Amino acid sequence: MGDSKAPAAAETGTVLQAGEGNVRAGFAALVGRPNVGKSTLLNALLGQKVSIVSPKPQTTRTRIHGVLTRPDLQIVFVDLPGIHARQTRAMNRYMNRTALASLADSDVNLFVVEALRWTEEDARALDELKAAGRPILLLINKVDRAQPRERLLPFIKDMSSRAEFAEVVPISATKGSNIAQLPEIIARYLPESPLLYPADQATDASERFMAAEIVREKLMVRLQDELPYGLMVEIEGMGESEDEPGKLMIQAVIWVERTGQKAIVIGKGGDLLKEVGRNARLDLKRHFGRPVHLELWVKVKEDWSNDERALRNFGLES
């Protein structure tokens, strides 16, 4: 989305344009198991929403770039799907491949864990990070929720001993604790380079991608456990209204895996789909800064999340 604006919280000063001079610039991957708060952290760092968030693990399915530019640095954050141990379906295998492929390509990797919690999937993610051979910054998230508080310092000490971390920073992505200092810490591990993206660009995600993700987020928040993962949103049409200049027209298809799931998404008398549509339209209006007309349809593609061909058709597999 080349017209996305840089975060309002960025420091004032003369910012170089892409290709001009050198600053500290590079890639920083957000790595960890599902649901540790990577996408929430990315949005907090950028001061705007570029990655959707829901209470469900594995909300992030593909690699998303979020760009933070200041006069002396540019960090391209790479929000990755959570690394998980179980790879029973094609979608799970795709998400793991997407995450692991980015580790060796980043200049620094940010390992996000949840305060007072360590799992098999955390251990697997750390093993992969060690194998990648890049500097690792340990970010211990959700410290505001850590109870009992007296366990936090021993947990931080134990975590610090698990690898040769370049930095260890306790944070709260939701409360903003220690978020402001992170960019300067991360920049220490980036090379000197011209800007990698234009200074006013906050993400390289397309408008269609963002529209689909916003609709999917509203579905996941509303449905929660009723539709775990078998749901995909595809934008079939997007453009200016011919009758109302300035209004954005969006037509989206919600794909599910079972006929019974279609009835769940639509709801009794269509009420659930109407509610999701209203919530998505309001968020789309805020995101694009213009009125939006949103049309939604629900269709069935049997067992698509375990079908490599279907993943490729949806643009999720290379």
Which residues, at least 6 apart from 16, have a Cβ–Cβ distance to it below 8 Å? 23, 71, 194, 195, 199
Tell me the H-state helices in 27-141: 38-46, 90-103, 120-132
- The pLDDT tens digits of the residues spanning 276-295 come to 999 999 999 999 999 999 99
| Summary mean pLDDT of the chain | 87
Lowest mean pLDDT among 12-21, 54-63, 152-161, 196-205: 12-21
Task: Give me the pLDDT at residue 91, please.
Answer: 73
Task: Residue 30: name the closest of 40, 20, 22 by CA.
Answer: 40
**Contact predicate 55/71, CB 8 Å:** no
Single-letter code of the amino acid located at 151? R
Phi and psi of 77, rounded to 5°?
A: -75, 135
Check whether domain 207-313 has CATH 3.30.300.20, yes or no:
yes
Task: Give me the pLDDT at residue 318, please.
Answer: 45
Decide which of 4 and 147 is more confident: 147
With pLDDT > 90 as the criterion, what percentage of the chain qualifies? 65
Task: Give me the pLDDT at residue 18, please.
Answer: 52
* Domain range list for the chain: 23-193, 207-313
Tell me the H-state helices in 119-242: 120-132, 152-160, 182-187, 207-223
With pLDDT > 70 as the criterion, what percentage of the chain qualifies? 84
* Total Cβ atoms within 10 A of residue 94: 21
Decide which of 241 and 81 is more confident: 241
Residue 15 has pLDDT above 60, yes or no: no
- The pLDDT tens digits of the residues spanning 20-43 come to 568 999 999 999 888 899 989 999
Q: Which residues of 243-279 are buried (b: 16+ CB within 10 A; e: fewer)?
A: eeeeebbbebbbbbbeeebeeebbeeeeebbeebbeb
Task: Give me the pLDDT at residue 59, please.
Answer: 65
Task: Give me the pLDDT at residue 156, please.
Answer: 96
Q: Is the pTM of this model over 0.85?
A: no
CATH class held by domain 23-193: alpha beta
- The pLDDT tens digits of the residues spanning 207-240 come to 999 999 999 999 988 987 776 567 899 999 999 9
Residue with tokens 């002396």: 72
**Contact predicate 237/196, CB 8 Å:** no
> What element of type H or E holds 140?
strand 136-141
